Amino acid sequence: MSHPPLQESTREILQKKLCDHLAVIYPDFNREVLAQQLVQVMRLDEDCQSPLPHKNLWDETDVVVITYANTILSENQHPLKALHHFLKTHFTMLINSVHILPFFPYSSDDGFAVIDYKRVDPKVGDWNDILRISTDFHLMADLVINHCSSQHQWFVNFQAGKSPGNDYFFTVDPNENLAGVVRPRTTPLLRAVSNGDATKCVWCTFGHDQIDLDFRNPQVLLEMVDILRLYLDMGVRIFRLDAVAFLWKKIGSSCINLEETHELVRLLRTLIEHANPNAVIITETNIPNRENLSYFGNANEAHCIYNFSLPPLLLNSLVSGDCRHLKNWLMSMPPAQNGTTYFNFIASHDGIGLRPVEGLLSDEEQEALIQTMENFGGQISWRALDDGNRKPYEINISLFDALKGTTAGEDEWQLERFICAHAIMLALEGIPGFYLHSLVGTTNDYQRMLEHGHNRAINRRQWQELEINRKLRDATSHHYKVFYQLRHLIHLRREQPAFHPNATQFTLHLGDRIFAFWRQSMDRRQSIFCLNNISDAPQTVPLSSLNLISTDKWKDLINEQYFEDMLDSLTLEPYQTRWITNRW
């Protein structure tokens, strides 16, 4: 009598998947032993869960706020407590997720040169503060995986020739040909340092205080997985893999987006989802659009990727009054498979990247955009090229100031233009992420930029909680106007099934002054036509051009206008948005 084959256990399936990943990354190591070590470090030998493939871990109610731990300050309490209080006061039932940028002890780069991955910087709070925030919001945190601070104990040990750390950092012969290496900075790539009794050159993608880790050593991977497990225990649900595109290096290559890097992302995905099937990975890859899309893999790498092309393309459309490039880009974007989606943002702690529009905007168009931003008080950061020259890498400016006018100069439409930008972000396929400073209309902080000595500080103001609360109560301030108009739009978005991150999206063609697209809910019951006038002149749209189904009733969600005559037309005032739906 034949017996049916025994079904593999979740643990056995996990072990095989890990071995498959490790065969690509570490072909010369014993993959079975290393897989078992990873299982033990992640404590999956105690609790191993079964993730469901292609499961959406989000819906239309998901909205993220992005902030530093010390953006909100208050007397007599740690910044994390002040931030938690501010979030609960203003964003309960509005925003359900918070990305707290690195909150660890650090030596530079506002947190991204981590001295100790396992401690909360005592200047901002402790792990109990993080746990409390994670009970009220989905918590997103950075795994600063490519590099650590030159003050990290690992690097101190490296310089002394001791372990752990002696073999944790990527070193290279300075005589090697490194001309093809792609990186986002103009500082020298290599730094000569002592290593016991010898001198070695360590690899520094981002600067000499941020030393690149060497993932060719599997012990480095085990260290990072141990850190990842801690973050899970501390309530982190969303993991932002910082600068992950640069993770693996091969001399003679570009040292970006290598196959081993992709396989490492797939490995981390496997570990995380077997520990918590509701956890999410977001890859931070500020690179050209096609390369960025590759981090979805086959729905087996990142759950979400940053839509890095959106900020510069949208900014360009709003200051030029021409949305051709934005439309062309939107039409080229593939729908995300179920279980994956885009992370949309238009402002962040970093600048507005220009690499993601390479091949999308001409050099002349980029130069016009840069000149306009400089006219509005913005600064430009640069990256090094193979030939020793430099190229603009990002624009550093607060988004509110970036939208104070057009290429023709400043005008009276700053607020309307700013709200329009966020209305577009809220309606697009994907999960919207609001930089906290955008939600309250923060302007350029020139004093902070001068004090810190780097351009990005222009958009990293710290607010006293009493001061920003006072501004948010003052109906005459632009902070109040920004905050309450955005609150209204966020509330509307959260109630529309057609704004599910994976709902259908089609680009509409209504001329170069109107950026328009159509969303349809996954059950096909709700349609929303999203019309955005990106110019400083009124635009008229015949309703017949939308092909509205005449048997349905249609309404603009934002201003509650109803449409009955399908032969009529509607007018969009400068920078006005219309969300026209058949279900409300």
Q: What are phi and psi of 169, to 5 degrees?
A: -120, 145
**What is the pLDDT confidence band of residue 390, given thresholds at 50, 70 and 90?**
confident
Report pLDDT digits (tens) over 173-191.
999 999 999 998 889 999 9
The pLDDT assigned to 7 comes to 55
Q: Is 110 exposed, middle or buried (0-12, 13-18, 19+ CB in 10 A)?
A: middle
Residue 4 has pLDDT above 60, yes or no: no
The pLDDT assigned to 477 comes to 98
CA-nearest of 344, 419, 409 to 373 is 409
Hey, how many other C-beta atoms are within 10 angstroms of the C-beta on 16? 12
With b for 16 or more beta-carbon neighbours within 10 A and e for fewer, the 143-166 pattern comes to bbbbbbbbbbebbeebbeeeeebe
**What is the pLDDT confidence band of residue 2, given thresholds at 50, 70 and 90?**
low
Region for 359 from its dihedrals, namely left if φ exceeds 0, alpha if ψ lies in -120 to 50, beta otherwise: left
Q: Give me the chain's average pLDDT, please.
A: 96
**Structure-block tokens of residue 101:** 């940028």
Q: Which domains does the chain have, with CATH numbers?
A: 504-581 (2.60.40.1180)
* 8 Å CB contact between 469 and 74: no
Task: Say how far apart CA 192 and CA 208 lie, in whole Å.
Answer: 10
Report pLDDT digits (tens) over 501-511.
999 999 999 99
Residue 512 exposure: Cα atoms within 13 Å on the Cβ side: 8
Task: Say how far apart CA 291 and CA 54 lie, in whole Å.
Answer: 22
**What is the pLDDT confidence band of residue 101, given thresholds at 50, 70 and 90?**
very high
E-strand spans in 126-277? 138-144, 147-149, 190-195, 198-203, 210-212, 236-242
Task: Say how far apart CA 545 and CA 180 lie, in whole Å.
Answer: 50
End-to-end CA distance of the chain: 61
Torsion of CA 52, 55, 61, 67, to 10 degrees: 70
pTM for the model: 0.96
Q: What are phi and psi of 238, to 5 degrees?
A: -120, 125
Q: Side chain identity at 432, as an amino acid letter?
A: P
Residues 6+ apart with CB under 8 A from 81: 74, 125, 129
Q: Give the DSSP per-residue string, 152-206.
A: SHHHHHHHHT-TTTTTSB-B--TTS--TT---S-SS-SEEEEEETTEEEEEE-SS
Hey, how many other C-beta atoms are within 10 angstroms of the C-beta on 234? 16
| 37 sits in which H/E element | helix 31-41
**Structure-block tokens of residue 350:** 């970093």
Q: Give the DSSP per-residue string, 224-238.
A: HHHHHHHHHHTTEEE
Hey, which residues are catalytic here? 242
Three-state DSSP class for 280? Answer: strand
Task: Say how far apart CA 462 and CA 133 lie, in whole Å.
Answer: 19
Strands 97-100 and 64-67: parallel
**What is the pLDDT confidence band of residue 1, given thresholds at 50, 70 and 90?**
very low
Task: Say how far apart CA 439 and CA 433 lie, in whole Å.
Answer: 10
Q: At what angle do helices 310-320 and 363-375 cross, to 10 degrees?
A: 80
Task: Say how far apart CA 249 and CA 329 lie, in whole Å.
Answer: 31
Task: Say how far apart CA 156 and CA 145 lie, in whole Å.
Answer: 18
Report pLDDT digits (tens) over 285-306.
988 889 999 999 999 999 999 9
**Structure-block tokens of residue 413:** 């439409």
* 8 Å CB contact between 265 and 297: yes
CA-nearest of 433, 376, 444, 377 to 407 is 376
Q: Is 487 exposed, middle or buried (0-12, 13-18, 19+ CB in 10 A)?
A: middle
Strands 97-100 and 138-144: parallel
Task: Provide, rounded to the nearest whole percent, the portion of the chain with pLDDT above 90.
Answer: 92
DSSP state of 247: S
Q: What are phi and psi of 125, to 5 degrees?
A: 150, -150
Residue 144 has pLDDT above 90, yes or no: yes
Three-state DSSP class for 431? Answer: strand
Task: Provide, rounded to the nearest whole percent, the portion of the chain with pLDDT above 70.
Answer: 99
Residue 6 has pLDDT above 60, yes or no: no
Which ranges in 404-563 belong to alpha helices (H)? Answer: 414-427, 436-439, 446-452, 465-473, 478-494
Cis link prior to 105 (omega < 30° from 0)?
A: no
- Work out the average pLDDT over 568-574: 95
- Work out the average pLDDT over 351-357: 92
Residues 6+ apart with CB under 8 A from 261: 244, 245, 246, 247, 248
CA-nearest of 220, 202, 288 to 260 is 220
DSSP state of 361: B
Three-state DSSP class for 42? Answer: coil
